[in-house]
Amino acid sequence: MDLHSIATLAWRNLWRNYRRTLIMLVAVAVGAWAMIFLTAMTRGMIDNMVSSGIATLPGHIQIHHPQYRDDPNIENSMPPPDTTLLAALDSTAVERWSDRVRVSAVVASERDSRGVLLLGIDPSRALGITAADIVEGRFLQSSDDKGLIIGAKLARRLETDLGKRVVVMSQDPDNNVVDRGLRIVGIFTAKLESQEESQVYTGRDYAQKMLNMGDRISEIAVHGHDYNALATLAQDLAVAAPALELLTWTELDPFLGITQQMMDSVVFIYVLVIFSALSFGLVNTLVMAIFERTREIGLMLALGMRPISIVLQTVAEALLLLTLGLTLGNALAALTLWLLAAGIDVSAVAEGMAMIGASGQLTPSFYWQDLILANTVVFILGVLASLLPAWRASHLDPVTALTKN
């Protein structure tokens, strides 16, 4: 028999017992929907964690003095980027970049004091904080702005408010204590409350003057177009700055890097576990169909149909069932993800989400490779699952099958 005839017979046989076929069809569709939906939600949570982590770092890539990570003080600062490095930073592969001062400091109000990171930034190209994050007051106006921006949580801890003065203390390159009274000009909020309590911002040039560090900086943060594709950009920057240390976000925060790499294994496990359960139903459907058609199969074998044609016909039934179920499941998953495109508000468990580095808004992330993986694995496992009943049907004895009641 030709393949067209086999496919036609398989389609007709599939709908002989339409109730059983519909039940299995719904099972495959729900399984496919669950695989794609759960994968998208998990991907969304991981992407949320990575985005929040990168925003806190900030940047996809950071450039430092070779000893800065081990001993982050002013002595391990570096000069501003030279012509070669500037050319690499201004290339089309870089979305934006920022150089900044980053030192440990103490902020004291009339009520309390806290250890923080003092960040001197150029507001025109700041990474990690923007004007959109300011909930009270204003953003920094220039790199020599003497104002101070603090987090909402830190303001509560210090029992201070917008417009009040606080004392900022740190050390200069000679290990002398320097302190300045700065007025709070802005209060910001962040996805992670820990950032609100641990970081304060002022103008980069003003921070350099306050700390007597000339035009030196602590780090350069670089933001590429895709945090998953940084190899070429990192290599170009490393060539442009051979004497400096360059680290990608996966090296700056190994936990985030491992979590993201582990996601591919999680997706495969989702697919494997869900379809392993479905495969029992698929095998049962095909075996029952063969039992019901035992005499018919025996007749076809007696009339000269080859066993391989019986195998192909049974496998074709499984493939048609899987194709219909996956098409329905994919469409249902696409509709669900479209309806949830704005995200799910999980602010009720915001503290728990913050502990794993995620925000209170969970948005699904759809990846084409996840869809392809799910459908491919289901097809492959479906064919493998259908081989046992197909082999059983092809090895029926025609005489015994024809005399079976």
pLDDT in tens, 147-199: 999 999 999 999 999 999 999 999 988 888 999 999 999 999 887 777 888 89
Mean pLDDT of the chain: 83
Q: What percent of the chain has pLDDT over 70?
A: 91
pLDDT at 320 over 90: no
User: Where is the domain boundary, 252, 278, 298?
Assistant: 252
Can you tell me the mean pLDDT for 232-247?
91
Q: Please indicate, yes or no, whether residues 18 and 86 belong to a single structural domain of this protein.
A: no
| pLDDT computed for residue 156 by the predictor | 92
CA 15 to chain centre: 42
Q: Please indicate, yes or no, whether residues 32 and 46 belong to a single structural domain of this protein.
A: yes
Q: Which residue has the higher pLDDT, 378 or 360?
A: 378
Q: Please indicate, yes or no, whether residues 96 and 242 belong to a single structural domain of this protein.
A: yes
Distance CA 19, CA 288 (A): 13
Q: Please indicate, yes or no, whether residues 191 and 129 belong to a single structural domain of this protein.
A: yes
Question: Measuring CA to CA, how many Å separate 16 from each of 81, 321, 342?
Answer: 74, 13, 43
Domain containing 143 equals 59-252
Q: Please indicate, yes or no, whether residues 346 and 370 belong to a single structural domain of this protein.
A: yes
pLDDT at 270 over 80: no
Distance CA 333, CA 336 (A): 5
Q: Which residue has the higher pLDDT, 268 or 232?
A: 232
Q: Please indicate, yes or no, whether residues 242 and 355 belong to a single structural domain of this protein.
A: no
CA-wise closest residue to 197 among 164, 137, 157: 157
CA-wise closest residue to 33 among 325, 263, 273, 338: 325
Q: Please indicate, yes or no, whether residues 36 and 65 belong to a single structural domain of this protein.
A: no
Q: Is 107 helix (H, G, I), strand (E, B) or coil?
A: strand
| pLDDT computed for residue 100 by the predictor | 92
pLDDT band at 354 (very low <50, low <70, confident <90, very high): low
Q: Please indicate, yes or no, whether residues 144 and 18 belong to a single structural domain of this protein.
A: no
- Torsion over CA: 353, 151, 121, 139 (sign): positive
pLDDT band at 261 (very low <50, low <70, confident <90, very high): confident
Q: Please indicate, yes or no, whether residues 49 and 100 belong to a single structural domain of this protein.
A: no
Can you tell me the mean pLDDT for 270-281?
74
User: Where is the domain boundary, 231, 252, 273?
Assistant: 252
pLDDT at 219 over 60: yes
pLDDT band at 107 (very low <50, low <70, confident <90, very high): very high
Lowest mean pLDDT among 43-47, 175-179, 270-274, 329-333: 270-274
Distance CA 200, CA 195 (A): 9
Backbone angles phi, psi at 199, to 5 degrees: -130, 140
Q: Please indicate, yes or no, whether residues 194 and 121 belong to a single structural domain of this protein.
A: yes
Q: Please indicate, yes or no, whether residues 68 and 197 belong to a single structural domain of this protein.
A: yes
User: Where is the domain boundary, 193, 220, 252?
Assistant: 252
| pLDDT computed for residue 369 by the predictor | 83
| pLDDT computed for residue 316 by the predictor | 84
| pLDDT computed for residue 64 by the predictor | 92
CA atoms within 13 A on the CB side of 337: 23
pLDDT at 89 over 80: yes
How many independent structural domains does the chain possess?
Answer: 2
pLDDT at 234 over 80: yes
Q: Please indicate, yes or no, whether residues 228 and 87 belong to a single structural domain of this protein.
A: yes
